[in-house]
Amino acid sequence: MKELIDALNPFPLAQGMVIGLIVAAAGFWAVRRGLQDNRKREGAPADVQRVHVELSDEEKRLQWTAYEQLENLEKNSFAAVKLLEKIAEGVNRLGDTRWNSRQ
Amino acid sequence: MKLLSYYVEGRRFEWVITSAMLWLALALLIDPEILRSSAFQWITLVMPPWFIEACLFLMGWVRLIGLLLNGHEIRGRRVGPLIRAFMAAACAVVWAQFDLALLQLSFQQGFMSPGIPFWSMFVLGELDVAYRAVAGNERTD
């Protein structure tokens, strides 16, 4: 270090520039490395936690009851649609009858 | 106090250095001769006091902006950490010049200037800030 400073002693500007460039290069490297590490950290997948849920007998029974209710809802929804179609037909027929009686 | 912690926590070193920079810039504005009559007289051989003052003021001001942009985004990018990192690298260069001036003085007087350990560690501290500001630790934005 002393040799470098001694060699550059007659040129204080060069001395400052050489040391400044070395430090600037180190600073640039630090920023670049920091950005790289940041990207790595952002790209890394989040920690996955495996969870096993143990249900009690009562909870299992309630779960099955819920599934049965869902099944009933599904079946009944088709029946409800058929009923609604019949009602719509009846309303249309009534409308037709009213229109015909006015002719 | 909460607001102060929000801005200062995890970056005290930067706040301290920024305050010192702006303080020195103000002192140089009042009396530009203070560097010539101090241990840093070697710097004035290379850079005139007005140039040092301008550098300190500009860098201190930009650094302050970077510290205050706490998590703000411009075009989807957090600019605070980037400004802080680049300013830390630039400050490391300036502190290295101060360190060099003290080193010159030490060779001239034959014993080490007591300021050398401080300024050398400031350089290393700034390089550490340059890395950590953008690396994305707990408090980086």
**pLDDT one-digit tens code per residue, A29-80:** 999 998 888 888 777 766 677 888 888 999 999 999 999 999 999 889 988 9
* Chain B CB within 8 Å of residue A18 CB: no
What residue segments make up the domains of chain B, in order of their start? 2-135
For B73, phi and psi rounded to 5 degrees? -115, 140
How far is Cα B124 from Cα B62, in angstroms, rounded to an integer? 20
Whether the full predicted model's pTM is greater than 0.90, yes or no, is no
- Name the residue among A2, A24, A30 with its Cβ closest to that of B93: A24
How far is Cα B6 from Cα B4, in angstroms, rounded to an integer? 5
Chain B, window 1-30: residues with a beta carbon less than 8 angstroms from a chain A beta carbon: none
Interface test with A, best of B41, B46, B94, B112 (most A CBs within 10 A): B46
The predicted pLDDT at position A9 comes to: 64
Contacts of B57 (CB under 8 A, 6+ apart): B21, B22, B25, B29
Average pLDDT of span A3-24: 76
How far is Cα B21 from Cα B14, in angstroms, rounded to an integer? 10
State the helix-helix crossing angle for A12-43 and B79-109, rounded to 10 degrees: 150
- For chain B, give the percent of residues with pLDDT over 90: 26
Kind and range of the H or E run holding B64: helix B49-68
The predicted pLDDT at position B6 comes to: 77
Residue ranges of chain B whose pLDDT lies below 50? 138-141
The predicted pLDDT at position B89 comes to: 93
**In this structure, how many other beta carbons lie within 10 angstroms of the beta carbon of residue B89?**
24
How far is Cα B133 from Cα B14, in angstroms, rounded to an integer? 10
For B30, phi and psi rounded to 5 degrees? -70, -45
What residue segments make up the domains of chain A, in order of their start? 1-43, 65-103
Determine whether the interchain pair B131/A23 forms a contact, defined as Cβ–Cβ distance below 8 Å: no
Q: Say if CB B88 and CB B130 are below 8 A apart.
A: yes
Determine whether the interchain pair A31/B46 forms a contact, defined as Cβ–Cβ distance below 8 Å: no
* Chain B CB within 8 Å of residue A64 CB: no
CA B108 centroid distance within chain: 26
Give the pair of three-digit tokens for residue A47.
Answer: 């920690």
Between A82 and B38, the higher pLDDT residue: A82
Q: Is a pLDDT exceeding 90 seen at residue A3?
A: no
* Separation in Å, CA of A48 to nearest CA in chain B: 20
- ipTM tops 0.85: no
- Start-to-end CA span in chain A (Å): 115
